[in-house]
Structures are given as structure tokens and as C-alpha cells.
Structure 1
Amino acid sequence: MTVLFFVLWIIAALWIALTALPAGWEGHMPMPYLIALVPFLWIPLVALAVWAAVLHEWGIVGAMLVLALAASSRRMQYLGSGFDMSPSAVRPIGGTGRASTTAKSRETSRETLFGSRETDRETSTAANTDGPERSSGTTAASPIAPNEPFSVMTLNCRFGRADAAHIVREVRERNITVLALQELTGELVAALDEEGLAELLPYHQLGEERDTDNGGFNGIWTAYEPASATSNAVDIPAADVPAVTIPLSRDEDETPAVDTDDTDGIEPADESEPDVAPARRYITFASAHPKSPMRGCPQWSAGIRGLGALADAAKSGGDIAVVMGDLNSGTDHPSFRALLKSGFTDASLAYAHGPNLTFPSWLPWPRIELDHVLVTRGLKVSHVESFIITTTDHLAVTATLVVR
């Protein structure tokens, strides 16, 4: 009996060790699925511990319970005071250099971020010299301002089968200002328009529809007028990653004026140092859906890690990036942790009120967390919640964010 316990313990230990592989090494079947099930290994391990206790094998009891804790360790990170897997060495937004240097680096990063092809599926939003268009009869929201919360939402629409009326109702009732959808079809986009989504979120950008899409194309809607938009912000082996870039309120950037009528005690400015207005900051929102492992394990891993380019572009310019979508992975997957290390923080980890388990929607338990809201430095997460949308197999995720 002791030998059997030992063999089962070794199998469980090796299974859990898959989560510690270098990023990309898990891109072979069936490892992504085995890793996704690691958080549930505590169930058979506790059962084995109880069995060992009945047999008075106390050493085995302790060994099984240690493994049970190890299997649950990454899920425990969602509880407590919060958990930030982004590098501590990332410099604060805006940096400490002169404004001209910051502006130059920001320009470079934005060229990198939006260097992809122009789309023929741009509908309400167009990245052109005339600026974005908006649906007639709608009004854009004010620019995003510091210390003012705003809400975002993401949903996998299951091959376009999600209930359009339910989506629009949740957008309205939850006061969503940025919406990311995956697995879209033209029919669902039209249904969303018929239900009045354009009245709530007048700007949107869609990815191009291609035969290689994994379940459908992606899209992003916003109440804020974008400074620019693209159908594919970063090339990954999956559906296009549409993105919109929204300016922050100028109030954050401008220096308060000096009252010239009362200048006692104020040192005169050094005329050799001309005033340079700080460059404007931006937030880029992207809707992403890397391939599922069954559509190609190497492409699955490459797509997850490839999204890190959005964090790199934002950091180099002192801006902010938000990636939302069905990322087909969680913190147990090394590729997902590599994405976080590129500069992103998972909103659920930052909120630290437990994981938001999103798949499958028809089972109250067990579920796994595949859908995420990822943010770079410069945003504070004040609330995260998942909830069911009719006729899709994923739960929606909403997060309330605040510019620091």
C-alpha cells in the first residue's frame, strides 16, 4: 500500500511540476490541458490523505497535503492583499526625463504599436488624417481623467451566438465605457447595432475577418473618441487584435498657472530653460483571443506571449495598455506568466478578491479562468466581477479602473 501511495504522489508531483516549465515548453499536447487542471488536483490529493489517515500512514498524510497546497498555490494568489507579477523595475508612467525626450519615445512606441495593416472593416472608427468618425446621433464621453473610475468589459461570444440584447443591457446597466468582444460574426455585430450598442459606445474597431480566425473575429467598442485605431495592433498566430488609443485628459498633464498678481516669494523662472508642455499620455485598449491549444499548441503559446509587445510599446512611450479577452490560459501556464512579466498585471490578481472563473458557463463548478483584463502600470483596479451572458459558453468579465 505504501508503494501505491508513493507512485501516486510522484505522478501528482510531476503533474504540478509542469507549471514550472520555461514559457513555451508547455506548447505541446496535452500539457496545456494538464496544467489547466492542476488547481483541481487538491481534490484527489486530499482524498488520498484521508485514506492514508485511516491507515494511520501519517507521513503520507503530510506529503499529500503538502502537494495539495502546492497545486492550489497559484489560485491562492488571488486572495489577500493583491499580487502583481509585473516587473518591479518598470519605471513609473511618464518617467523623469524632459518632455521632449518622452514625446520622442512615445512617438516611436506608437509607430510600433500601430504599424500593422489598415483594415477594410473599420466601421464607426477610422484611423485616418480626418480623425475618427462616430455614429450619427451619439455623443462621445469626455477624455479619461485621473482619479475618475471607468468600467471595461470583455466577453467571448461563442461563434457569434451570444445574446446581443443581453450584452447591450449589461453595458447600459453597468455603465461600461470600453467593451471587448471575441468570436464575433457579422450577424452579431449587426444585432448589437440593432439593440442600440452604438448609442452607448459610438466608436468601434473590428479585426479583419479571415479563414484562419479562431471562432470568429475580435472587436472593441468605446464611449471615448479615439486618437487612433487599428485592426491589428500586434501580429500573433490567431485572430486580429483590434485596438483603439484614447487620450487622457489634459488636466493631468498641464502645470497649474501662477497668479501673476501675487508673486511674493516666487523665484523667477530661468529664461534659459523654456517651458515645454508635457506630452499627452494615452491608453490603448485591445481585444485579444489567442488560439486554443487544440488549434495548435505552439501557436497557442506564441500568441499568448506575443501580446507582451503591447506592454513593451506602452512602457517605452510612458503610456498605458489594457488587453482584454479570452486568453485561453491562466496563471498556472508558464506562457501566461511570461505575458505578465512583460509588464502586465492581471486585474483579478490586483483586486485580490478571488479568481474570476469564466469557463464553462453551464457548470457552476468546476470552472477555470480563461478570460482576463490585463493592465500596465498607471492604472489601479478597484473592482472585478464575472457574470453570465445568455447563449455563450464563457462568462463576461468587467473591471473598474482608475488612472493613478
Structure 2
Amino acid sequence: MKNIKLYWILIYYLLTGNSMAQVADTDYVIGKQLFIKSAVLNEDRQLLISLPKNYDNSVHDYPVIYVLDAEFLFDVTQSIVKIRAERNYMPRSIIVGIVNNTGKRNDMSLIIKNKDGREFFGGYGGKSKEHVKFLKDEVFPFIESNYRANSHRTIIGMSPTFGPVLEAFWNDPKLFKGYIILASELAQYTKNGKSIEEQILASVLSGNHSGNALYVGKASRDLLNRPPEEAEAYITLNTALKKLNLKDFKYNIEVLEEEDHYGMAVSGIQHGLETIYPKDVWNIPYKEFRNAKNPAKTLKQFYDELSKRYEFNVIPNEDAFYFVGNLSGISRRLKSNKRYKELVEFLELSVNYYPNSATLHKRLSEAYKSINEFEKAELSEKKYIQLLEYR
């Protein structure tokens, strides 16, 4: 009898185990990857591209974040941007990662030396200008002709790959609006005999950085292996910039405590994005919007001002992860409060922002019915059905 029980127990586990083994799996994709042939670098380069949520629902252009060292930094940048944008701390953005070719990462480094003449990157590098040209002449035109990308660009580089970031900051400052430098060096000297700290300050003093933002971060544990002047450079650069009392140039020069060389990337990217998109500016008052006498007008005025400040069309989020601070959240509140006239006006504005959103057209159709605008309701319903069929 005992043997029979063991037999049936074994059969049960074999059957259930087999059914588990047959569960289908699929790939989880967070972006696109492609190769472009670079005449500037004389090689093929791999690009990773992440488009923002609801990209197909809108028709407007998005800011772009260019990420060097993409094989290491692309995924984490994509996650940080996703969370920050969902919570209205920054606009949803296109992310473009440039993957390093094998053995080519150090090509991007600046030729820098310490005060005693010892080369920092072991004599490698010196091609930062070529990589800026590659971005400007080949990557930007490709991205901007194939995706709805605007001219508000941010660049992220780390350790050797901060070379093109500084190269652009010094010599072509309007190429990017945001400059994020991770695991940086400030006390090393470039070929012109000036330290990186001195060149950053001179570039800011040139007056060519109006509207720009700069983040420079270093891990505290790196300073254990650096001469004292490296830590001092972070203090003196901050002091010099503070004295300038700059109104139209945002910066954050910092040492991140208890972080190591590459481990500081997560905090550094976050702080860099906060420098470009400060929380005091990106404090979106959605409670004020929904309680306003005219919610649509109040929201539009706020985003028009934000767009003017950043010189591109900033639009509110259509929806977000368990969050009411967006168009869908406000429309739900207006409906629950039976403010149907305001709801219609608000949803009419919403479909202007997201004309390809089936969800918003469906809600607008229902809102029209609430105020007995049945012809308009029918048109919105037809648009809703068309968008569903298109998908």
C-alpha cells in the first residue's frame, strides 16, 4: 500500500512539473538596437534607443538623453528617467545609448596628466573631438530624422568617456543643454597646461552657457587614491562658481560620500537630472489644477510657461503608474465630482496633447454625453474605434 501511494505521488509531481516546463516565455524588450556606419570613426557603431511611454499617442517632439558607455549605463539611465518622468520630476525623454566597440572605450578620453607629468589614462585617448563630431554629424541627424526628437539634448559620460562631454562643453557649448560627468577628474592637466577645473571655470566665464546645466560628480572612495589637490578642486570650483551668482546656468559639483568609481553612477545620474530639471521648477501643482475654476486653462498656462523656460514643447503626462498627477487622473476626479462642463474642456485639451490616444477619445465621448452633446460624442466614439482598429 505504501508503494502505491509513493507511485501516485511521483506521478503527480511528474505531471505538474511537466506542465510548468511547458509555460511559454517571451523576451522582455526595453528598447531598440541598431548599427550605423560611421564615416567619422571609420567603423560601425551600435545604438540603443528607448522611446518614452505613450510616444505613439502624441505628436510632439521629445528631449533626448545621449548615454556614452551604453553597455553599462543605458539600462540604469532608462530606469531612472522612467521613474522620475512618471512622478513629474522631468519630461519623458528619448534615450540614445552609444555602445563602445571592443577595446575602443579609452579612445574617447582626454589626454590628461597630473602636475608631475604622469599620464592619467596611460597614454590612451585623444579622440574626444572625433567622437563629438560623430555625434554631431552622424548620430544627431539620424535620430532627428527617424524619431520625434527636439534640440534639447543631454549627454552622460563616465571616467574615460567624459572626454567628449567636456570637449563639447568647452568648444561647442550649445550642442547640449545638459552635461552630466560621472567619475570625473578636476585636478588633472590637459594639453594646454590648464587643469580641468580651470578650463571649466574659464568656459563658464565665457558667457556661452546661458540655459545650460552642468553636473560633475566624484566618488569619495576615489579620493583615497588621488592627491589632495583633487579634493581641493571640488571645493575651489564650487566656491568660484558661487561667487559668479549665475542666474541662467545651473550646476552641481559634488563628491558623493561612501561611493566608489562606477558605483556612483546611480546617484550621479539622478543628481545630474535634478540639476537640469530642478524640483523647485518641476513641482507640478496637479491639486491646484483639478481644484481650479477652469482646470484646462490653469494646466495649459503652467505648461506653456514651462515650455517657454526650456525652449521646447513640454506636455503633461497622459497617465502614470498609480498616480493621479496626470491628465487621466484629473479627468477621473472631475468626473467623480460631476464637473462635467470642466471635464469636457479638460479632455478636449487632453486630446490636443495626445491626439492618438484611444482612451482619451473614449472618455471625451462619455463626457460629451454627460452634457447632452450627442453629435460630438458620436464623433469622439468613431475616433476611438478608428484608433483601436489602427492598432
* TM-score under structure 1 length normalisation: 0.29
Name the structure where helix makes up a greater proportion of residues: 2
Larger radius of gyration: 2
Where relative contact order (Cα < 8 A, 6+ residues apart) is larger, the structure is 1
Q: TM-score, normalised by structure 2?
A: 0.29
